[in-house]
Amino acid sequence: MAEAVLPDQPLIAGHKTPAQISAEISAPLGQRPNRTWWLLLAISGSALGLGLLAIGYELFTGIGTWGLNRTVGWGFDITNFVFWVGIGHAGTLISAVLFIFRQSWRTSLNRAAEAMTLFAVMCAGIFPLIHMGRPWLAYWMFPYPNVRGSLWINFRSPLVWDFFAISTYFTISAVFWFVGLIPDLATLRDRTAPGLRQRIYSFLSLGWDGSYRTWHRYEAVYLLLAGLATPLVVSVHTIVSTDFATAVLPGWHTTILPPYFVCGAIFSGMSMVLALMLVTRGALGLRDYIQQRHIDAMSWFILGTSGVVLLAYVTELFTAFYTGNPYEAFVFKNRALGPLGWSYWIMVCCNGLVPQLLWFRGVRHRPAAVFAVTIAVNIGMWFERFVIIVTSLHRDFLPSSWASYQPTLIEGLTMLGTFGLFFTAFLIFCRLVPVIAIAEVKQAVVAEQGGAAGGH
């Protein structure tokens, strides 16, 4: 544990010079992609294609192609929506929250984590969109003067809040990511031989020349965006949780949902970042940049948030029985011991028990073991949303309307398709822009080596 916090371990291994940092991080961009990359792209691209086929079929045929029924009106779609939004939140946590807390180790991770945020929010957005049934009318969510009255949207509805939260989150994340990318695009522009690639970098780098006047303003803007993104990320998942918490449904109607959702989001997102970075650092040869200390730090995050999530499970159970409300108590008994009880126990094991392995140094120092834990957490967190949504719905107040829920192939393929979209986008991202923020790593390394006296 101690080695993660001792200051004598360098942030980046190997005492690198600024020139070395630019060269090493941008090296993969200049090379032709290897066979593994093409293979992964083929797999994820196929998954994406299958998903598009499923969505196309669903659009032409209707929502009836899903396994939803009168009782269970939300199933795979909203489960996946909440899952993907949660995955995205780790990116903002690493880029904004850790920036405000001056955690300089974040510089090795923030670019990739922010990209993941964007891709995950895209995946998330697909589900409510296609669940509308007529996604070409999705603009009805926007309050514009229309010929129906004007009939305005209902600003008291959490689903409208969600529309505003997710669109703002995507926009601000994209802007934050792009602002962070400008200096690195300029570095690439000046390193790349003239040609199409260089012209694209040149166009996108907005004529950045490293002037300190610009840097001076840039730092102020970056800090401000981080300060805005921090409450934003909390608000987004809080609002996602109000989609449930404001409904008068036992199992949903609880005040614990917002903090529980936000923490769960960070938990699953951190696991996804860690899983992807373990693969990326090996594939792109960036082990000097993403070191054991990064794995350790993220492991502590996963352990901590796992503890909070576990506490939330226990609190929910306790509250359900303590209130003496028979409907509330029934929902929780049904969750753990009912027909879908297996999903509850997958959730508890993967989110509460498996992460405890990260306490052991022997586990943290084996990338394969850490990878396995992060995958388990993602499975567990997916099931958490499934449990919250489906087990609360399928046995409601009237036993005559009780039903079960069986996802169809179309739903399965749609979910597979979003994984395909996420990984395809990530693979392309790795080839187009540096996966590590070059300028930020240089700044952190220079400050650490004492080059900038009076640093932090």
The footprint of another protein on residues 187-206 (CB under 8 A) is: 187, 189-191, 202-206
175: contact with another protein by CB under 8 A: yes
Chain residues 435-454 in contact with another protein, contact rule CB under 8 A: 439-440, 442-443, 446-447, 450-454
Q: What amino acid is encoded at 54 in this protein?
A: A
Q: How far is the CB of 343 from another protein (least distance, A)?
A: 30
92: contact with another protein by CB under 8 A: no
Q: Is 369 helix (H, G, I), strand (E, B) or coil?
A: helix
Q: What is the dihedral of CA 214, 217, 219, 220, to 10 degrees?
A: -170
215: contact with another protein by CB under 8 A: yes
228: contact with another protein by CB under 8 A: yes
CA pair distance 455, 198, nearest whole angstrom: 34
Q: Is 251 helix (H, G, I), strand (E, B) or coil?
A: coil
Chain residues 10-69 in contact with another protein, contact rule CB under 8 A: 17-19, 22
Give burial (CB, 10 Å; 0-12/13-18/19+) of 392: buried
218: contact with another protein by CB under 8 A: yes
Among 109, 181, 239, 413, binds another protein (CB under 8 A): 239
CA pair distance 235, 241, nearest whole angstrom: 10
Q: How far is the CB of 7 from another protein (least distance, A)?
A: 17
243: its two tokens: 């989609």
231: contact with another protein by CB under 8 A: yes
CA pair distance 46, 38, nearest whole angstrom: 12
241: contact with another protein by CB under 8 A: no
State the helix-helix crossing angle for 367-386 and 76-92, rounded to 10 degrees. Answer: 130
Q: Which stretch binds another protein (CB under 8 A): 114-122, 235-243, 250-258, 414-422?
A: 235-243
| Residue 408 near residue 63 (C-beta atoms within 8 A) | no
Q: Show the site string, 386-425: x = touches another protein by CB under 8 A, - = not.
A: ----------------------------------------
171: contact with another protein by CB under 8 A: yes
164: contact with another protein by CB under 8 A: yes
Chain residues 335-374 in contact with another protein, contact rule CB under 8 A: none
Nearest to 184 by CA among 88, 83, 107, 260: 107
Q: Which stretch binds another protein (CB under 8 A): 232-240, 262-270, 272-280, 421-429?
A: 232-240
DSSP summary character for residue 252: T
184: its two tokens: 């690195």
| Residue 343 near residue 391 (C-beta atoms within 8 A) | yes
139: contact with another protein by CB under 8 A: no
**Rg of the chain, C-alpha, whole Å:** 23
214: contact with another protein by CB under 8 A: yes
219: contact with another protein by CB under 8 A: yes
